[in-house]
Chain A
């Protein structure tokens, strides 16, 4: 049994192999780009608004509200990055309803790439918000003794992001594959429905966790960032660094 779309080679030309992961990533990218380009080329502010524009507005404002609730001061700043992460993972996971499609997020390469994007984005947003010194100061807060633990947490949470998304999507594929061989008709469909739900929740969680990591590194008032603030659930979420 194949547990990764990496092993499925669609096309081969002079030693270059096009795996299913790359091909389906391109498919998802093409769908996202073409749909957004088609919708945003005909935006209107008048009386009649097309239904596609309403759909896009709902998606964008919902992501914006979610970013705002995590505790970022300026949601518009993070909207492109977080929104792209969410839309890409959600589309990649939801397209499993199409027969013959293998989600590219079921490959550790894709999820590791996404997690490395988050790893790089955290210092970029933080330096842009607080300056280089302010960012480096997050590593020695609350005390310089925490420096190695902060460094480890930075790496381990990246690994956790990658393996969590990969494991969830891959487990859905593997369970459906096993069930097809032992109970072919009904149960694989139920498990695929469950896989759609899991895929959407994982996309949400990946985006929210990326936002939480960015928000916790780019907070301007780190003075009381500790266990003292029980009253504020937003801050508590934002302080959950690694796991």
Chain B
């Protein structure tokens, strides 16, 4: 097989794996955080504004790991630096 084909195939496979594995952890963690926050609001409705704000901030922090995986997979598919390298090596 051509090296650029290899790079394309492995990039696509890795991008899929990245987003698949990388979304499992944040999904579990966000569900857990939301469940705990709901429980806390049910116990203390007065503190709901503080809890909601803290929940938003922590959800954003948890979600950022999933976003990193998404960015890496997007780079692998749309802006892969190694495809240029392979085409240069093949051309020159």
Question: Interface residues, chain A, CB within 8 Å of chain B?
Answer: 1, 3, 66, 69, 160, 163-164, 166-168, 170-171, 174, 201-202, 204-205, 208-209, 212, 233-234, 236-237, 240, 243
Contact = CB atoms under 8 A, between A and B. Distances in A.
Nearest to B58: A240
Determine chain A's interface SS by DSSP, over half rule: helix
A197 B6 CA distance: 39
Closest 9 A/B residue pairs (Cβ) = A167-B67, A205-B60, A243-B61, A164-B64, A167-B71, A3-B78, A233-B50, A237-B54, A160-B64
Interface of B is mostly: helix
Contacts, number: 59
Nearest to B75: A3
B15 to A, nearest CB: 13
Contacts of A166: 71
Interface of B: 47, 49-51, 53-54, 56-58, 60-61, 63-64, 67-68, 70-71, 74, 78-79
B57 A163 contact: no
A138 to B, nearest CB: 20
Most chain B beta-carbon contacts within 10 A, residue among A167, A208, A233: A167
A170 B78 CA distance: 13
Given A212-B57, A237-B57, A3 B64 contact: no
Contacts of B74: 3, 170-171, 174
